[in-house]
Amino acid sequence: MLLAIDVGNTNIVIGVFRDAESELLHSWRLTTLRERTADELGMLVTNLCQHHGVTPEDITGIVMASVVPPLTSTMLAMVRNYFGGTPLNVEPAVNGGMPILYDNPSEVGADRVVNGIAAYEEYGRRDERSVIVVDFGTATTFDAISAKGEYLGGVICPGPQISADALFQRAARLPRIDVRKPDRVIGRTTVESMQAGLFWGYVDMVEGLVRRMRAELGGNPVVVATGGLAVLVAPETTLIDHVETELTLRGLRIVWQRNRGA
């Protein structure tokens, strides 16, 4: 079996594939805590696997992407100690298998390139279409993949929860709220007004940036959404073509396939 690990700023997402060719069997999300030790992570991950009948001995391949440097070495140590192997740690400019046209390729987060790889293989390659990937994570990222399968670049914006927290911290009379779809745009309470601004302002931001990226790319790019808020935002716009909640894990599987010979 293949173990795929995506270390993000908010969550660590873990998935198990039957092998490098098959679909995802199980996936789990852990809260990202930079203070966790390799032993804490090892107990959590092995217990989750064993709960679904997967033992460390069943894992014959491991692939990982991390955008949290303090946890990268911790996770590598956990994998070595609890699964007895050395994972393929995705470095987009080295082993990602996708040309990166960023001015400095090493600046691109591994998750952004991995998402681009998965979306292009699923929706772009067959019809030779460019792809826009919108990842609704801690930050909201928009990534452009050419019709040739090249990573062109993208846009980085604060996620809606970051914006909500900033309002709470910087405006003395505004409460801390969760981001959710309000019943109407014109709020009749402070909380409703904040929710309307955060949610509908966020939807309009997504639509505006996707339109601008489509115009710049030309042709008819396919738009793929992933991340925690994708299922909430996607129904409110006609510009998102597909929602793939496990896009990063699927991209990690593809990178593993490309590197398994090495």
Residues acting as catalytic residues: 111
SS (H, E, C) the chain: CEEEEEECCCEEEEEEECCCCCCEEEEEEEECCCCCCHHHHHHHHHHHHHHCCCCHHHCCEEEEEECCHHHHHHHHHHHHHHHCCCCEECCHHHHCCCCECCCCHHHCCHHHHHHHHHHHHHHHCCCCCCEEEEEECCEEEEEEECCCCCEEEEEEEECHHHHHHHHHHHCCCCCCCCCCCCCCCCCCCHHHHHHHHHHHHHHHHHHHHHHHHHHHHCCCCEEEEEECCHHHHHHHCCCCCEECCCHHHHHHHHHHHHHCCC
Q: What tokens does 257 get?
A: 């396939």
Q: Report the distance separating Cα 58 and Cα 20, nearest Å.
A: 13
Q: Report the distance separating Cα 92 and Cα 101, nearest Å.
A: 11
- The amino acid occupying position 231 is V
